[in-house]
Amino acid sequence: MLKEAARAEVRQGETTGAEDALKAKPRDAGIVVAEAGAEQELTDGFHLVIDALKLNGIDTIYGVPGIPVTDLGRLAQAEGMRVISFRHEQHAGNAAAIAGYLTKKPGICLTVSAPGFLNGLTALANATTNCFPMIQISGSSEREIVDLQQGDYEEMDQLAIAKPLCKAAFRVLHAADIGIGVARAIRAAVSGRPGGVYLDLPAKLFSQVMDAKAGAKSLVKVIDPAPAVLPAPAAVERALDVLKSAKRPLIILGKGAAYAQADSEIRALVEQSGIPYLPMSMAKGLLPDTHPQSASAARSMVLKEADVVMLIGARLNWLLSHGKGKTWGEPGTQKFIQIDIEPKEMDSNIEIAAPLVGDIGSCVSALLKGIDGNWSVPPVEWTSAINARKEANLAKMASKLLKNSSPMDFHSALGALRTVIKERPDAILVNEGANTLDLARGVIDMYQPRKRLDVGTWGVMGIGMGFAVAAAVETGKPVLAIEGDSAFGFSGMEVETICRYNLPICIVVFNNNGIYRGTDTDPTGRDPGTTVFVKDSRYDKMMEAFGGVGVHVATPDELSRAVNEAMDSGRPTLINAAIDPAAGSESGNIGNLNPQSVVRKKAAA
């Protein structure tokens, strides 16, 4: 209401043409005027944006309505597009980003100007870092006022701010250029290494009118927006030579391999070569985690002892300790083959012995031809050692997963959810948190590709509800979102969005009363500890408040029953899973990134 009142105040009698269009027949949106005794059909910026998106097969928008894009959302919905309105732009942006990952088409996030634009930028930057194709379309103030800094409503030079945070940024000033602007944004988002694109549409653009026929001709259907990039034959031969020399080879699959949707080719390469493989978290399910060549349960061993490592859609960033240090073998003892569409990625941390530049599907297909009928499987000593380590580690974990204690710890709760996913391999798993994320990666097996969605390269929290909404909308599949109580807090209000659209999403909040654990204290006795939340919060009541199903559970058996009932019903459900407040720890890579206060500890001693 405030935004609409502000709009009336700012625009004072200005007509955008959108109101007339909404009153017209659903597709009779052009404005008809008399000119020199003849009728001329016109169109406007609103409809040209919508038509440009539809022409390119984009039929869903995620966003938050407000000045100056409210009518764009209304008209898009009237034109048959699906418009999913969120409570906060960051979560709409996260939804658009993961929609791009799942569909290989750029997800669209629509935001208002200035503060709304800024809210969306976190998701846009995250999409770029994770290589998810996404376009953030934001309304903006008029150029002539912004450039003179005259104080327009929500005035900001949005294009300049967006440029450093995304793959490309464009602004459209004239209705006749909308088609080419949308086309450039689409191609930039999906070609080469995918990423986020910003498209700036000033408020005046939407109300511009032009001849409808000329407008239709100005639209551009993007041809082959992400063309294949074939690897050089010499590079393929070099990679094969390095691979053949290996005594202890390893394949690492990253989320880029899952995005490529070259599932059959990747599986054939793994199985025909016989090489053990290690999936990064969002690549889990490209081959079932129960596959005999999976080395997930022996991760530490294979990273340290492999002599040749082939990276497929994975980068040697912090998630892989930058390819060096204690995680890996002695410097100079390991050789790397890297498949990536971006040449600049090679040698980013360490020397790459065999860079293979091209799209994943083409590169893997070329390698397959090279090993066909001319390959020896890895030495049995290597595969046997991996299997022995896997069996030992899995045996250690088994007893932790089977406990039916109250309150639950992370392992016993995840053990129950592990079984749920095993019985429902088609469901999509969304996962974020600290311990909730770190432990779920290793505990919950995935069986199909692109079924596990998590925080990805940046490790940023708050993706949960946006990812869950888009996963349900884009796939129609049931979604299980496993959230730490801290992570859920970033986007928890979107449970209203889930209920409003009646999406088949079951949220499980692992509630241990805080970040890492809920037992910290303030040494002064004045406030709660910095990592502590309200004790025994009932997150399930939030879902009930919006008409969904809320459940509180305290044991793994109760958790299993509640999740299965939710998944069977398809109703929006939130399960508050009580976890022992002392069960968490600052574990894994995330914990190691928190520096310890050595000086203060010494002083205290």
Domain-ending residue, one of 360, 387, 414: 387
In a domain, 153, yes or no: yes
Given a contact cutoff of 8 angstroms between Cβ atoms, the answer to whether 505 and 479 are in contact is yes
* Whether residues 28 and 156 fall in one domain: yes
Closest by CA position to 508, among listed 399, 418, 589, 394: 418
Largest CA distance in the chain: 94
Taking the C-alpha atoms of residue 320 and residue 317, their distance in angstroms, rounded to an integer, is 6
* Whether residues 520 and 416 fall in one domain: yes
Taking the C-alpha atoms of residue 498 and residue 302, their distance in angstroms, rounded to an integer, is 41
Q: Is pLDDT above 90 for 373?
A: no
User: How many C-beta neighbours within 10 Å does residue 77 have?
Assistant: 14
User: How many C-beta neighbours within 10 Å does residue 540 have?
Assistant: 23
Given a contact cutoff of 8 angstroms between Cβ atoms, the answer to whether 278 and 252 are in contact is yes
* Whether residues 375 and 509 fall in one domain: no
- The helix (run of H) or strand (run of E) holding residue 480 is strand 479-484
- The helix (run of H) or strand (run of E) holding residue 249 is strand 249-253
* Whether residues 201 and 267 fall in one domain: no
Could you give the 3-state DSSP secondary structure of residue 528? strand
The single-letter DSSP state of residue 290 is T
Q: Is pLDDT above 90 for 7?
A: no
pLDDT digits (tens, 9 = 90+) for 470-516: 999 999 999 999 999 999 999 999 999 999 999 999 999 999 999 99
What's the CATH code of the domain at 121?
Answer: 3.40.50.970
Taking the C-alpha atoms of residue 511 and residue 578, their distance in angstroms, rounded to an integer, is 5
* Whether residues 94 and 183 fall in one domain: yes
81, 99, 373, 546 from 225: Cα distances, Å: 22, 17, 35, 41
Number of domains in the chain: 3
In a domain, 535, yes or no: yes
Closest by CA position to 466, among listed 437, 491, 434, 502: 491
The single-letter DSSP state of residue 225 is S
Peptide bond into 595 cis (omega under 30): no
Domain residues for 521? 402-591
Given a contact cutoff of 8 angstroms between Cβ atoms, the answer to whether 192 and 342 are in contact is yes
* Whether residues 383 and 291 fall in one domain: yes
Given a contact cutoff of 8 angstroms between Cβ atoms, the answer to whether 329 and 306 are in contact is yes
* Whether residues 119 and 165 fall in one domain: yes
What are the tokens at 370?
Answer: 């090279």
- 268 residue type, one letter: A
* Whether residues 417 and 511 fall in one domain: yes
* Banded model confidence at residue 365, pLDDT cuts 50, 70, 90: very high
283, 447, 451, 593 from 426: Cα distances, Å: 15, 8, 7, 35
Domain-ending residue, one of 218, 245, 265: 218
- 111 residue type, one letter: T
Which stretch of 18-32, 201-215, 312-326 has the lowest confidence by average pLDDT? 18-32
In a domain, 211, yes or no: yes
pLDDT digits (tens, 9 = 90+) for 235-287: 999 999 999 999 999 999 999 999 999 999 999 999 999 999 999 999 999 99
* Whether residues 201 and 284 fall in one domain: no
Given a contact cutoff of 8 angstroms between Cβ atoms, the answer to whether 431 and 471 are in contact is no
Taking the C-alpha atoms of residue 201 and residue 205, their distance in angstroms, rounded to an integer, is 7
Taking the C-alpha atoms of residue 113 and residue 308, their distance in angstroms, rounded to an integer, is 50
* Banded model confidence at residue 21, pLDDT cuts 50, 70, 90: very low
In a domain, 368, yes or no: yes
Give residue 431's Cα distance to chain centre. Answer: 11
Closest by CA position to 45, among listed 201, 214, 220: 201
In a domain, 343, yes or no: yes
In a domain, 163, yes or no: yes
In a domain, 605, yes or no: no
DSSP string, 196-213: EEEEEEEHHHHH-EEEHH
The single-letter DSSP state of residue 113 is S
Closest by CA position to 327, among listed 287, 296, 300, 306: 300
Give residue 69's Cα distance to chain centre. Answer: 24
The single-letter DSSP state of residue 230 is P
Mean pLDDT of the chain: 91
In a domain, 10, yes or no: yes
Given a contact cutoff of 8 angstroms between Cβ atoms, the answer to whether 522 and 531 are in contact is no
Task: Quote the pLDDT of residue 550.
Answer: 98
Q: Is pLDDT above 80 for 592?
A: no
* Whether residues 197 and 241 fall in one domain: no
* Banded model confidence at residue 36, pLDDT cuts 50, 70, 90: low
What's the CATH code of the domain at 267?
Answer: 3.40.50.1220
pLDDT digits (tens, 9 = 90+) for 527-573: 999 999 999 999 999 999 999 999 999 999 999 999 999 999 999 99
In the sheet that holds 82-85, the strands lie side by side as 82-85, 60-63, 107-111, 134-140, 196-202, 168-171
* Whether residues 547 and 433 fall in one domain: yes
Given a contact cutoff of 8 angstroms between Cβ atoms, the answer to whether 479 and 472 are in contact is yes
* Whether residues 274 and 210 fall in one domain: no
**Could you tell me what percent of the chain has a pLDDT over 90?**
83
Domain-ending residue, one of 335, 352, 387: 387
- 433 residue type, one letter: G
